Amino acid sequence: MSSRSSRSAVILTLLPLVLAGCASATGPNPGDAAPPSPRASVQTASAPPVVAETPQLDSANAKPMPLDPYLLAPAQLGTVEKAQQKLIVDCMAGFGLTYTPPTGSRSHRDSDAPTTRVDARYGHQSAALMAVWGYHPEGGVPAGASARPSGPSFSPETELVLRGTADSAARAGAGGQTVNGRKVPERGCIGEAVKELTGAADGEIGNPQFADDVKFTTLEQSRNDPRTQAVFGKWSQCMKDAGFGYPDPLAALGDPKWRKTPLPTPEEVKVATADAACRHTHNVVGVWYAVDTGYQQQAIAANAAAMAGAKAAVETQVRAATKVVTAG
């Protein structure tokens, strides 16, 4: 993600669309982009974590993870979204302006998706769903889902009150202008909403950037850990025995062939079914989850102050958003 200022402006202007992009139910898709690299800001331990126990798991979606309290859960994201929309609408109404927030469309979440985090981290994990939908979302890809939504068009006056500036090249402005007898606040009504939810007009809405950095760093660490790589090797051989050549489960998930049709092909279902069977045979999810948990625990301990700040930021947003939503 980008810097705090640009991130806040984008998220608050089109939060429903941004949240949809963050709420993938299937975890990282290496076919769409290269896997994220560890963030330089995250302090890491000098040695891999010791894993005392490895559970037998086909799916870790219902299992807790150390980072859960530091990131907004799907329900919490929904509350924050509703609150920011209400705050902006009310603020704009105070200037005599009618504002309709962009609705967007939330990313589809499969019936087995975790409720404590927006991503599943290890790809598809339900053998039952994979046997029907392959690597597609449950129900298939909705028509038009790949189209990039465009932002709404506002009058200069509305832009001024909304963002604190009518300059389309600026993400936000200092405000101070008078519209319909009222002074435009810093960063406009968007800034007012941010301030109400975070305590500062330029605060972060959504996951704290540092917590996101830790999430991606630990995922990459756990993916590259020798213990995970070893079980990937066993999985890969199992897949070869079934007639499919992939180096690891994320390569199978990210095969570009699967994204060419809105519904899974027979080949895709066969690959996904073999994938689920090989995961089960070699406890791929159990090993990866155990290793990943260890790296998350290490990162939280090594970055204690920053992580405490991230947790406080999440709690502040949820508390403020809940108050706004329940007030009606």
Domain limits, the chain: 4-326
Q: What is the DSSP letter of 169?
A: T
Cα-based distances in Å from 201 to 20, 81, 153, 174, 197? 23, 16, 23, 10, 9
- With 80 as the cut, is the pLDDT of residue 25 above it? no
- With 50 as the cut, is the pLDDT of residue 16 above it? no
> In which band, very low, low, confident or very high, does the pLDDT at 107 lie, cut at 50, 70 and 90?
low
First to last CA, the chain: 33
Retrieve residue 177's tokens. Answer: 């202008």
- With 80 as the cut, is the pLDDT of residue 322 above it? yes
Mean pLDDT taken over the chain: 86
Res 167: pLDDT: 87
Res 203: pLDDT: 92
pLDDT tens for residues 29-57?
333 334 444 566 899 998 999 999 999 99
Average pLDDT over residues 210-230: 96
Retrieve residue 247's tokens. Answer: 């180096």
> How far apart, in whole angstroms, are the C-alpha atoms of residue 164 and residue 156?
11
Of 7-21, 62-76, 87-101, 307-321, least confident by mean pLDDT is: 7-21
Task: Report helix, strand or coil for 159.
Answer: helix
User: For the chain, what percent of residues have pLDDT higher than 70?
Assistant: 83
Selected residue with higher pLDDT from 268 and 39:
268
Of 14-28, 103-117, 284-298, least confident by mean pLDDT is: 14-28
Res 146: pLDDT: 56
pLDDT tens for residues 226-256?
999 999 999 999 999 999 999 999 999 999 9
What residues form DSSP beta bridges with 182? 179
